[in-house]
Amino acid sequence: MSEAGETVRIVGISGSLRRVSFSTALLKVLAERAAPAIDLEVVTLEDIPFYNEDLDIDPAIPAVAALKRKVTESDGVLISTPEYNHGIPGVLKNTLDWLSRPVFESCFKGKPVSIISSSKAFTGGVRAQYQLRETLISMHAHLVMGPEVVVGGVYRHFSDEIYTDEAGLLFMLKSLERLRETVVGRRVMVV
């Protein structure tokens, strides 16, 4: 990670509820390695109910309101997701549906976002990644460009919660650095 200068606050959203999820574990490894330049807060989605427009009213459901606030107050978002049946898991899409409202004014509007997909398969969840991009585009998020971060055979890279693929980890950290640079670059433009 390059010289910090200033810390950026990133919300890391995991697309998996699984107790020993690789998607969540990747976020935790990145949070440790990217500190202190990046303050990466790992978030899981157990408390988010099924989206129902009837319930999407004021006052918002507390878990939804809390997540919206976290995203709003963050400098950027990193989504780490598995692939389920060539798409993103329902829990992640469901959460993004909540966060997408109010339409055109969502907490993701203009928010720098990076994506990591992972899978036990060698394809690394690349199809889910493209579905996720489409959803984020509809929410007017600012997708940070660069090589896609796709982790194939993810189960092979963990040993007792230690990430053993250092080259792969450096590739992920570079993507995170691009996210940080996007945030810092915007701050410079605002000053």
Ligand X SMILES: Cc1cc2nc3c(=O)[nH]c(=O)nc-3n(C[C@H](O)[C@H](O)[C@H](O)COP(=O)(O)O)c2cc1C
Please, what is the minimum distance in Å from the beta carbon of residue 27 to ligand X? 10
Please, what is the minimum distance in Å from the beta carbon of residue 107 to ligand X? 24
d(C-alpha 70, C-alpha 60), whole Å: 14
Judged by beta carbon, residue 75 or residue 83, the one nearer ligand X is 83
Q: Are 116 and 26 in contact (CB under 8 A)?
A: yes
Please, what is the minimum distance in Å from the beta carbon of residue 48 to ligand X? 16
Judged by beta carbon, residue 95 or residue 118, the one nearer ligand X is 118
Judged by beta carbon, residue 106 or residue 163, the one nearer ligand X is 163
Please give the residue whose beta carbon sits closest to ligand X in the complex: 82
Query: In Å, how far are 11, 79, 84, 160, 173 from 95, measured between CA atoms?
Result: 14, 12, 16, 30, 25
Please, what is the minimum distance in Å from the beta carbon of residue 95 to ligand X? 15
Judged by beta carbon, residue 28 or residue 33, the one nearer ligand X is 28
d(C-alpha 19, C-alpha 177), whole Å: 28
Please, what is the minimum distance in Å from the beta carbon of residue 20 to ligand X? 7
DSSP character for 75? S
**Which residues here bind ligand X, judged by CB under 6 A?**
16, 18, 21-23, 82-86, 118-121, 123, 125, 154
Report H helices in 43-138.
62-73, 90-99, 126-138
Judged by beta carbon, residue 76 or residue 125, the one nearer ligand X is 125
Count of Cβ atoms closer than 10 Å to residue 161 Cβ: 9
Closest CA to 10 of 88, 110, 77: 77
d(C-alpha 147, C-alpha 101), whole Å: 29
